[in-house]
Chain A
Amino acid sequence: MYRETQIVNTQNNIPSNAEDAGFAADGGELVINVGPQHPATHGVLHLVITLQGETIQKIEPHLGYIHRSIEKMCESLSYRQFIYVTSRMDYLSAHINNHACALCIEKGLQLEIPPRAQVIRVLMGELTRIASHELWWGAMAMDLGAFTPFFYAFRERETINDIMEETCGARLTMNYMVPGGVMYDLHPNFQKRVKDFIQLFNSKIDEYDDLVTSNIIFQNRTKGVGVLSKEDAVSFGCTGPVGRGSGVQCDIRKLYPYEVYDKVQFDEIIETGGDSFSRYLVRVKELRQSIRIIEQLIDNIPEGDFQAKTKAVLKLPKGEFYSRVETARGEFGVYIVSEGGTTPYRIKFRSPGFSNLSALDHISRGCKIGDLMAIMGTLDLVIPDIDR
């Protein structure tokens, strides 16, 4: 009934000779492995952390646990096919990743997108952004030890997923984008359900502030933690809420508007604190801005085609094409080098998480282990996005 066995502990092993284990004789440093399986890393990220007591001296990220070499894979997929592989990178903003690829192909083909398709793309993109920020909000609170917000966030997120499911046929990786438009027309219920969602969301979003934002423990945990200066944010290439939390203007939707983003009113949220709390505020305020964009567009979806007419087999002219979009995590870039064939010669995805991760070591030095969770939470790393 109750059996004793011996297991060999491969990680975090402290041999009898303390110096081998990372207890350096001089400074009393301790090296611990956070990950690849660890509740705080939300995926297979492996951090080797050098500690002095509880204070972090150095963080060394080890990547590659979920590297699928998507860039190499895309070199043998046709232009219609490779879009959907990118859903598997940042799976929380899958639609926006697909959007970047579609934009890049359309740039190469010089395609005109019907206005209806443009609006649908933006609407779906903003819904995705809300869903992604919702998940982040819940997971962030959970990292800091508060479990309940996770369920509250999922309550609203489920509604978005249902809307997605109805129109796109899938909940998370929607595969709704095709070069020249979107795959299907909107479901007849779409407008009504989105309006219901907006109503629901507006009534719940204040709850978020009550539960987490104004909580004194939460504020103490995040204020002044992981400060990233504006110069460093630019130098590290931090974009999205991480960059904007440090006061960098980096919203691609504002700087290089694509689709209908130049026709809608919304604010670029910029906080100047640079700490975890600023990054948190940027995301929470972005939720309201996304709702604002949806409110403006939902009643003004133009009639017409949802897809431009394209050939069955797409061939991009020889040349180089780069498109940039704003995902929920920051700037996502697609760089296609075409040799004129049906497949890209070389493709490079510039993922926001990769650059944001590179700042992790810099901003968490001197913090406590507990702070690392606040920092990781607000960097909002999605590991498949980093390990492409």
Chain B
Amino acid sequence: MTKEEMKEHIAQHLPGAVFDETGEWLNVQVEADAWRSFAQWLRNEVLQMDYLFCLTCIDWPPAAAAKTQTAAGGGALTMVYHFTSTTFRQPLVVKVKLDRNNPEIETVSAIWRTAEFHEREVYDLFGVRFLHHPDLRRLVLTDDFEGHPLRKDFEDPVNMIRL
């Protein structure tokens, strides 16, 4: 399956999707509301995206967001999902933009089981709340830790050394 075919399929299913083909792989931006059903479709329908090989988040605080067009002003957290299909072998990147002050997104841990740990890590380090996650607790930090270290505005004067 080529990039174009994949794009067509997605555009058909989700007319609101925004594409970005500048990178190596096809980028799709979807709304947080549409994410859960879109994920289900990705996994089970034509594209057969059964392998979620990377799940992460990017923090765009207001200052950084203003400088770039990648994220809208006001700050955002972008969830980035890297998929591939074991049948078609064509990677796809899905991005979901979240409100930085109240980041909430549906979990996909029921669809790709590896997401359970990855989402816990993102919850821990970025503070994104995954709705309906079976076991949403901090993964690497202690339960009483305050703040989310991978956010750009996180400061820890004791343990962090500025280079």
- A residues contacting B by CB (< 8 A) are 63-64, 67, 69, 71-72, 76-77, 107, 231-232, 234-237, 239, 248-250, 255, 318-322, 324, 331, 333, 335, 337, 339, 345-346, 348, 350, 354-355, 357-359, 362, 387
Contact = CB atoms under 8 A, between A and B. Distances in A.
B40 to A, nearest CB: 14
B54 A255 contact: no
Contacts of A72: 149-150
A350 B82 CA distance: 10
Nearest to A238: B114
A210 to B, nearest CB: 36
Contact of A358 (B53, B93, B116): B116
A322 B25 contact: yes
Interface in B10-68: 22-25, 27, 50-54, 56, 58-59, 64, 67-68
A298 B58 CA distance: 42
B80 interface: yes
A248 B51 CA distance: 11
28 contacts: A64-B140, A64-B142, A72-B149, A234-B86, A235-B113, A236-B113, A236-B114, A237-B114, A249-B86, A255-B89, A318-B68, A319-B23, A321-B23, A322-B24, A322-B82, A333-B53, A335-B80, A345-B58, A345-B64, A346-B59, A348-B56, A348-B80, A354-B117, A354-B121, A357-B117, A358-B113, A362-B113, A387-B140
Contacts, number: 90
Contact of A235 (B25, B50, B121): B50
Contacts of A234: 50-51, 86
B26 to A, nearest CB: 12
B139 interface: yes
B163 A355 contact: no
Chain A binding surface, main DSSP class: mixed
A333 B118 CA distance: 14
Given A320-B93, A346-B56, A348-B56, 7 more contacts: A76-B162, A234-B51, A320-B23, A322-B82, A348-B80, A350-B54, A355-B118
A350 B149 CA distance: 18
Interface in B88-131: 89, 93, 112-114, 116-118, 121, 125
A345 B71 CA distance: 13
B160 to A, nearest CB: 8
B72 interface: no
Nearest to B86: A234
A191 B91 CA distance: 38
A305 B155 CA distance: 44
Contacts of A319: 22-23
Contacts of B139: 63-64
A355 B117 contact: yes
